[in-house]
Structure 1
Amino acid sequence: MVKINPVPSTSPRRTICFDRNRLQLEDIAAVADGSARAVLSSDPAFRAAIARGPAFLDRLLQEEGVIYGVTTGYGDSCTVPVPAELVAELPHQLYTYHGCGLGAFLTPAQTRAVMATRLASLCKGFSGVSVALLEQIVGLLDAGILPLIPSEGSVGASGDLTPLSYLAAVLCGEREAWCNGEHVAAGEALVAAGMAPLRLRPKEALAIMNGTAVMTGLAVLAYGSAEYLGQLTTRITAMASIALDGNADHFDEVLFSVKPHPGMQRIAARIRGDLPRAERARNGNRVQDRYSIRCAPHVIGVLEDSLPFFRQLIDNELNSANDNPIIDADGEHVLHGGHFYGGHIALAMDTLKNTVANLADLMDRQIALLVDARYNNGLPPNLSGATGPRIAINHGLKALQISCSAWTAEALKLTMPASAFSRSTECHNQDKVSMGTIAARDCLRVIELTEQVGAALLIAVQQAVRLRCELDPKLALSAAVAAMMASLAADVAPVEEDRRLDLDLHLLLTRIRGKAWRLYV
């Protein structure tokens, strides 16, 4: 028997109210990471507005109106009428035949993001769903019953049909779910939570499945991770510049005033603030450092300047009704369109993954400089901390640099835009599709790989700055970098003798993904 351990109602977690008002990306991210609870608004006006949708559809059915996906088949089958006595069975058929997803399951956090995103869209009141359906989604989130959603099978137009069919099925007590970290039968989980399987009304399966919730939920998570990676790469760059005895003039305020990209200027200012005051007052040993240091604000700045645009695209998609048809109960219209098309998310994810992969490439070049005695300005080869005769058998961070190269190459390989691979599907009804969900999955993988590069660079710059301070005892680190060094030292010991580094990398990845360091205000 499945045992449910729902979060108690007295939990101190903050609540996110779902109604017709706009939500922020951070609201969905908080539900996803478990730091906030989703609650459905109890406002009578909101609930009445939701209820008008199915009531309007019921009137149309009584008048024998033709409603796509309610009294007709789906997609290219829209010309096939459904007999009145079978209309009630049609929602079950829709989520059943779409049960053909493959690939790795979405993680619990990703699944919560998807569920919260779909809930946000349905709460707009233009999907013809009942309040009971919205309450069932909130109930699943509260009970920790999360559909097992395969990540592959959506072309990102006509919605994320196949992956979202797994949400529809679990709402009805079918298929499987995550529960207390295990895979369980959804029906058993509902019983254990004291919930009854939902019987979907006409249009409700289509409303759940025919939208952009998977790609948008994943995009919300990708945005937050990418934003943090930009800040982390900035701090790493400052530490790399210190370790390489770099020329601080490359980040001069007057220099950046003449190229007025505000994000790039912010990155330069952050690096400038991280550098030791003594270093800022001198010219350095070289007139010009290599591009991975000198041009770092320009590389990271592309991401920084693009983030507001990405946020706008994701935010608007999150706060949209994006299924088909749109049910305008107040105006008594059934409006057929293509709001399920995920082109805006596809653009955001295809572009975001490119800017993030460039962070991986930047850091990969930086570690290559740090470990190479020809370019690291007096640091030991491979940043080895060995001394005496043992120098001969120690190889420091040589292999770590190779791994960085591998992770970076894979990230760069994934920058091919998924949206360029539109396919004609479903009897040429879906003949132009967005591939937004594939773009979002690619973006998350690029982020994952870039986080791995970032974890490696944290080991490298910690080691390199420590070695530079030994060479130059008068070097006074800025407060921010000194605090970062202390935090890293609590997790990762200096590499004085060769040792396995994978355990250190896993710990640092946990820190990165948990946004453990408050880097810049």
Structure 2
Amino acid sequence: MAEHDLSTRTVFEARADMNTGADADTRANAAAIVIGGRRLTIEEVVAIAQHRAPVALSDDAAWRARIERGADFLRRHLAAGATVYGVNTGYGDACVVGVPAELVEALPLQLTRYHGCGMGAYLDDAQALAVIAARLNSLAYGFSGVRPVLLERLADLINHRVLPRIPAEGSVGASGDLTPLSYVAAALVGERNVMFDGALRDARDVWAELGVAPLALGPKEGLALMNGTAVMTGLACLAFARADHLTRLTTRLTALSTVALDGRAAHFDATLFEVKPHAGQAEAAAWIRSDLAGRDDTPGHRLQDRYSIRCAPHVIGVARDALTWVRRDVENELNSANDNPLIDPDNERVLHGGNFYGGHIAFAMDALKVAVANLADLMDRQLALLVDVNFNNGLPRNLSGAAPARAAINHGFKAVQISSSAWTAEALKHTMPASVFSRSTEAHNQDKVSMGTIAARDCLRVLELTEQVAAAHTLATVQAVRLRLRIDAATPVPAPLHAFIDEVSASSPFVDEDRALEGELRALTARIGACDLHGGYRTTSDQYRKGWNA
């Protein structure tokens, strides 16, 4: 099986029943994503997060026996009088404090409670589901010493959509995402609030409604749930998919801008990119070249288009190449045992280490947000060319579509370009790397931390802003091509670009008279963020999406 093939079972083999309603009907026709004994992909996490697939624990007997062995070994090890960090000791700097035997069972719940101090906005439904999927997959690796029932309850959170209200702020990325993940643990034990069936509910009441008893945490299970990188990793999976889609959209908009500006397709000739062999750059150029297929350069026009057009593959290509190693690092983290201590069920060892450290995710998200912000800057520069009569090769000022008699009072996309510039500036401001801002915390026990969750949140913010720029650029570029066709109806517009123009125009008609575009921009931004603007092209993520919906 190829590395990113999707191993699935039918939903009827899943352990948990689905909720009722239209969304449940959609998932009931999907295949369940198998957790346990196999590698999970970014696309599968995204499918779970977008409610397009349930999960099912593997029915492989060897995998299930391994999970059981880990929990059994830990119980026997403790019974033999061994000392295990976080099981019969205090946490962090308090690891030197022994916990009396009569308090060992109470210790995991205490951990979940005192970490209930998160702040900031709550993760949305998709983010919460991605986090739970990442934590479930890590614990299913079989090195955490948890019982199968814990994995089943995490699967229940996903399949019943019992979504912990997880505050975004409060993690330094080592010892993992302790505070935000405490909200997942609290939901399992029936504490704090969850979103269920569209309403904010008490977790204990929801479990009672589902006919399931809240989980009583076993030894180490509070620590296993919280001491890991699931928040940053889940968010990173979503960021990857959105960045992947944005790179493809940016190539489409570059092709459209070339047509609108009456530019030169020759800038994307394959030979140019064969002699500078960056794979992502060549890929971006090939996409633009495909979109412009059949367009010939007319003699007499400007010999070279400006950099934001001519060098677009070189900008987009950096992001495309970055995505290759970002995928590697995110999926390695996703498919890792990243709590502490680890329980080796095969050799019956307790391994005290630092796998909770989120350095790879932190660096990947810091790098990805820079690459994405450069896409915003590129699109903003292209948009600036389109609205400026000094550079747009004969298009109306500010892309106004007004009739001559009303041209003096119409301003077209002037304010849209100003707003795009503001969003771009803010995206660029957020590119300061989070990973270099390590803080010494917790009595200098956690004296070097990753800041991985802050990096992932920054990356999502940069993506949000860049998607706004992309929405503005999309509306403006479609307007510009339609204006170009008014000037010269014979302007060649290749079929893929026609399909894209039609898709956009269906929800945002031609701007002849000035109107407020906020609603159209918001709707288009939401579609871009959901990777749902295609116009005839398919990204890597889109191919997986198509497979899930088939």
TM-score class, shorter-chain normalisation, is: over 0.9
Corresponding residue for 1:100? 117
Matched, 1:41 2:61: no
Corresponding residue for 2:98? 81
Corresponding residue for 1:315? 331
In structure 2, C-alpha distance between the alignment counterparts of 1:42 and 1:462, rounded to whole Å? 51
- Displacement of 1:20 after TM fit? 2.1
1:421 to 409, 434, 437: 437
Corresponding residue for 1:124? 141
Instruction: Report if aligned partners of 2:464, 2:529 keep a CA contact under 8 Å in 1.
Output: no
SS at structure 2 position matched to 1:184: strand
- Displacement of 1:277 after TM fit? 2.0
1:335 to 325, 337, 351: 351
Corresponding residue for 2:341? 325
1:463 to 461, 474, 479: 479
Residue 513 of structure 2 aligns with an amino acid whose one-letter code is E
2:257 to 209, 225, 240: 240
Matches within 5 A, 1:341-360: 341-360=357-376
In structure 2, C-alpha distance between the alignment counterparts of 1:485 and 1:10, rounded to whole Å? 32
- Displacement of 1:401 after TM fit? 0.3
Instruction: Report if aligned partners of 2:191, 2:202 keep a CA contact under 8 Å in 1.
Output: yes
1:380–1:341 CA distance, 2 compared to 1 (3 A): same
In structure 1, C-alpha distance between the alignment counterparts of 2:432 and 2:131, rounded to whole Å? 25
Residue 37 of structure 1 aligns with an amino acid whose one-letter code is P
Corresponding residue for 1:218? 235
Corresponding residue for 2:212? 195
- Displacement of 1:42 after TM fit? 2.3
Matched, 1:304 2:320: yes
- Displacement of 1:515 after TM fit? 2.4
Instruction: Report if aligned partners of 1:246, 1:284 keep a CA contact under 8 Å in 2.
Output: no
Corresponding residue for 1:479? 495
SS at structure 2 position matched to 1:420: coil
Instruction: Report if aligned partners of 1:248, 1:283 keep a CA contact under 8 Å in 2.
Output: no
Matches within 5 A, 1:29-428: 29-275=46-292, 277-278=294-295, 280-283=296-299, 285-428=301-444
In structure 1, C-alpha distance between the alignment counterparts of 2:407 and 2:249, rounded to whole Å? 32
SS at structure 2 position matched to 1:222: helix
Instruction: Report if aligned partners of 1:276, 1:475 keep a CA contact under 8 Å in 2.
Output: no
Corresponding residue for 2:8? none
Give % identity: 58
Q: What is the Cα-based RMSD across aligned positions, in Å?
A: 1.5
SS at structure 2 position matched to 1:422: coil
1:507–1:10 CA distance, 2 compared to 1 (3 A): closer
**1:451-485, Cα deviation, whole Å (9 max, x unpaired):** 00001011000000000111111112111001111
Instruction: Report if aligned partners of 1:53, 1:129 keep a CA contact under 8 Å in 2.
Output: yes
Residue 328 of structure 1 aligns with an amino acid whose one-letter code is D
Instruction: Report if aligned partners of 2:264, 2:297 keep a CA contact under 8 Å in 1.
Output: no
- Using the size of structure 1 for normalisation, the TM-score is 0.97
1:22–1:284 CA distance, 2 compared to 1 (3 A): farther
In structure 2, C-alpha distance between the alignment counterparts of 1:144 and 1:281, rounded to whole Å? 54
Instruction: Report if aligned partners of 1:154, 1:162 keep a CA contact under 8 Å in 2.
Output: yes
Instruction: Report if aligned partners of 1:245, 1:284 keep a CA contact under 8 Å in 2.
Output: no
Matched, 1:519 2:537: yes
**1:57-111, Cα deviation, whole Å (9 max, x unpaired):** 1111111110100010000000000000000000011010000000100000100
SS at structure 2 position matched to 1:233: helix
**1:261-305, Cα deviation, whole Å (9 max, x unpaired):** 111011112111212524x34356111111111110100010011
1:206–1:283 CA distance, 2 compared to 1 (3 A): farther
After the TM superposition, which segments of 4 or more aligned residues of structure 1 sit over 6 Å from their partners?
none
Corresponding residue for 1:18? 35
In structure 1, C-alpha distance between the alignment counterparts of 2:300 and 2:356, rounded to whole Å? 55
1:209–1:288 CA distance, 2 compared to 1 (3 A): same
SS at structure 1 position matched to 2:104: helix
Instruction: Report if aligned partners of 2:111, 2:222 keep a CA contact under 8 Å in 1.
Output: yes
In structure 1, C-alpha distance between the alignment counterparts of 2:375 and 2:25, rounded to whole Å? 41
**1:351-409, Cα deviation, whole Å (9 max, x unpaired):** 00000000000001111110011111100000000012210110100000011011101
In structure 2, C-alpha distance between the alignment counterparts of 1:511 and 1:142, rounded to whole Å? 25
In structure 2, C-alpha distance between the alignment counterparts of 1:290 and 1:398, rounded to whole Å? 21
- Displacement of 1:10 after TM fit? 8.3
- Displacement of 1:508 after TM fit? 1.0
Instruction: Report if aligned partners of 1:18, 1:120 keep a CA contact under 8 Å in 2.
Output: yes
SS at structure 2 position matched to 1:287: coil
- Displacement of 1:507 after TM fit? 1.8
Instruction: Report if aligned partners of 2:242, 2:530 keep a CA contact under 8 Å in 1.
Output: no
Q: Which runs of 5+ in 1 are unaligned?
A: none
In structure 2, C-alpha distance between the alignment counterparts of 1:394 and 1:110, rounded to whole Å? 42
Count of aligned pairs between the two proteins: 518
SS at structure 1 position matched to 2:435: helix
Residue 85 of structure 1 aligns with an amino acid whose one-letter code is E
Corresponding residue for 2:545? none
1:442–1:255 CA distance, 2 compared to 1 (3 A): same
Q: Which runs of 5+ in 2 are unaligned?
A: 1-18, 540-550
Residue 69 of structure 1 aligns with an amino acid whose one-letter code is G
Instruction: Report if aligned partners of 1:53, 1:126 keep a CA contact under 8 Å in 2.
Output: yes
SS at structure 2 position matched to 1:224: helix
